[in-house]
A = this chain, B = another copy of it.
Amino acid sequence: MSRPVTSTDGSDEAQGGTVAGAAGSVGAAGSAGVAEESAGERSGASGDGRWPSIRGPRTGARATSRDVARVAGVSQATVSLVMGEKWRGRVSERTADSVRSAARSLGYRPNLAARNLRLGRTRTALLVVPALTNEFFARVYTGAARVAAEQGIGVVLYPSPEGVGPARDPFASARATLDGVIASSMAAEALTALREGGLPLVMLDSDPERAEAATTVNLDLADGMRQVAGHLLALGHRRFVHLAADIDSWTFRVRAAALAEALRGTPGTELTVVRAPLTVADGLHAAEHALTRPGPRPTALVCDDDVLAAGTCKAARRLGLRVPDDLSVTGFDDLSLATAVEPELTTVRLPAEGVGEAGMRALMGVLDGGPVAPRVLPVELVVRGTTTVAGG
């Protein structure tokens, strides 16, 4: 009832040699049974044998535009025109209505694979990030997806599936034909494959020197770190530790360089660099180590991200140090974590969703014919409760 015309029916008619058999859709069973032995044989050997109708993982059980056409009594082309909203002046209001109601009654949804093949484009972009469990990238995705949705573009993800194997192909994993790619420079493993992919590419937070042909969207991380340094210097701090991410990426190299450079301007400053993976526990251990080494204790601990800063605060408390009175701590990113801990973190707010949005807009610009000017988004120091004057 609800699924009147099946593709089997249609193909049988086609086998018969005539398209006129449309009328037979009601009682075609008899004619199909009589119609060539060969046809029956084929469907028996291939169709049923390989994909029993119940188990069939085939998406193909759905109604096609041809089914809709038959029900509405028009040609497939007309269905396509109506569904594509391109029928103004080409199809009468009445016909369009009947097509739409036929489509609705059949539960018709256009086959996107066919559409993509026909159009040679998919309005789909790939976003390549290191891991979605990092809130920063989850927010980048959110921003990108929002802009994309406004433009009828889809976003698929390639987060290196941690532990699946080293060099999986980001394109193959996307399982969809793509129009373009937005990639974080932190997704290092996938980068070379992406460059060779031959698709329009937008790089997020990547070294401008090495971006080559790709359009770039960057955060002004150096400025962020300069703001941190300025803030702490103004509070009188002189002995610094930089708790740096243990990741070899431009994103973090630029932080380190900017901090060192900013402190160099003030005489009498000391800077020790300690590295740790980006987890609370690792940050805690690294901070503990930095705070218990011999010599005068540092008064300011600058962290590469909020997670490390949270770990640092825990370490301080364990050592009996009060934050911020005995030790000032700064984070980076302004994740939701920054205001979940107590005291709330002084940190650098990165417009994560803005990065996603800008990245997607840049990609659309490239798709529309670029070139697109590189963008650098401003960042902002947010002073909260983990910093105060030195030696308070």
> What's the Cα separation between A110 and B104 when bound, in Å?
34
Are the CB atoms of A339 and B112 closer together than 8 Å? no
Instruction: Note all chain B residues with C-beta closer than 8 A to A281.
Output: 339
Which of A62, A174, A197, A336 has the most CB atoms of chain B within a 10 A radius of its CB?
A336
- Identify A340's interface contact among B153, B197, B340, CB under 8 A: B340
Interface residues of A in 131-153 (CB under 8 A from B): 131-133, 135, 138-139, 141-142, 145-146, 149-150, 153
Provided the pairs A112-B177, A310-B340 are in contact, do residues A120 and B171 lie with their beta carbons within 8 angstroms? no
Answer whether A111 and B117 are a contact pair too, CB < 8 Å, given A157-B157, A310-B340, A339-B281: yes
Kindly report which residue of chain B lies nearest to residue A368, judged by CB atoms: B55
- CB pair A176 B154 closer than 8 Å: yes
Choose one: B117, B145, B310, B339; the contact of A280 (CB below 8 Å). B339
Q: Which residues 322-350 of A have a CB within 8 angstroms of B?
A: 336-337, 339-342
Contact in complex: B150, A142 (CB < 8 Å): no
A23 an interface residue at 8 Å Cβ cutoff?
no
Known: A280-B340, A336-B280. A113 touches B162 (CB 8 A): no
Cα distance A60–B62 when bound, in Å?
Answer: 27
Contact A141/B132 with A154-B156, A154-B175 known, Cβ cut-off 8 Å:
yes
**Cβ contact of A133, chosen from B58, B61, B139, B171, cutoff 8 A:** B139
Q: Does A30 contact B (CB under 8 A)?
A: no
A57 touches which one: B57, B198, B367 (CB < 8 A)?
A: B367
- List which A286-340 residues lie within 8 A (CB) of chain B: 307, 310-311, 313-314, 317, 336-337, 339-340
Shortest distance between the CB of A245 and any CB in chain B (Å): 16
Complex Cα–Cα for A59 and B109 (A): 23
Asked if residues A122 and B341 are in contact (CB atoms below 8 Å), the reply is no
**Quick one: which of A88-119 are within 8 Å of B by CB?**
107, 109, 111-114, 116-117
User: Is the CB–CB distance between A150 and B177 below 8 Å?
Assistant: no
A163 within 8 A of B: yes
CB of A272 within 8 Å of the partner chain: no
Tell me whether A175 and B117 are in contact in the complex, defined as CB-CB below 8 angstroms, given that A107-B198, A146-B161 are known contacts. Answer: no
Residue of B nearest to A52 (CB): B369
Tell yes or no: A249 within 8 A of B by CB. Answer: no
Give, as a whole number of angstroms, the nearest-CB distance from A365 to chain B. 11
A54: CB under 8 A from chain B? yes
Chain B residue contacts of A59, Cβ below 8 A: 120-122, 177-179, 199
Is the C-beta of A164 less than 8 angstroms from some C-beta in chain B?
A: yes
Q: How far is the CA of A200 from the CA of B56 in the complex (A)?
A: 11
Residues A55-101 near B (CB distance < 8 A): 55, 57-62
Contacts of A171 in B (CB 8 A): 109
A168 beta carbon closer than 8 Å to chain B: yes
Question: Shortest Cβ distance from A204 into chain B, in angstroms?
Answer: 17
Query: A282: shortest Cβ distance to chain B, in Å?
Result: 12
Is A231 located at the chain interface by the 8 A CB criterion?
no
Chain A residues at the B interface, C-beta cutoff of 8 Å: 52, 54-55, 57-62, 107, 109, 111-114, 116-117, 120-124, 131-133, 135, 138-139, 141-142, 145-146, 149-150, 153-157, 159, 161-164, 168, 171, 173-179, 196-200, 279-281, 307, 310-311, 313-314, 317, 336-337, 339-342, 367-369
User: What 6 pairs between A and B have smallest CB-CB spacing?
Assistant: A154-B175, A55-B369, A113-B116, A60-B120, A58-B120, A113-B117
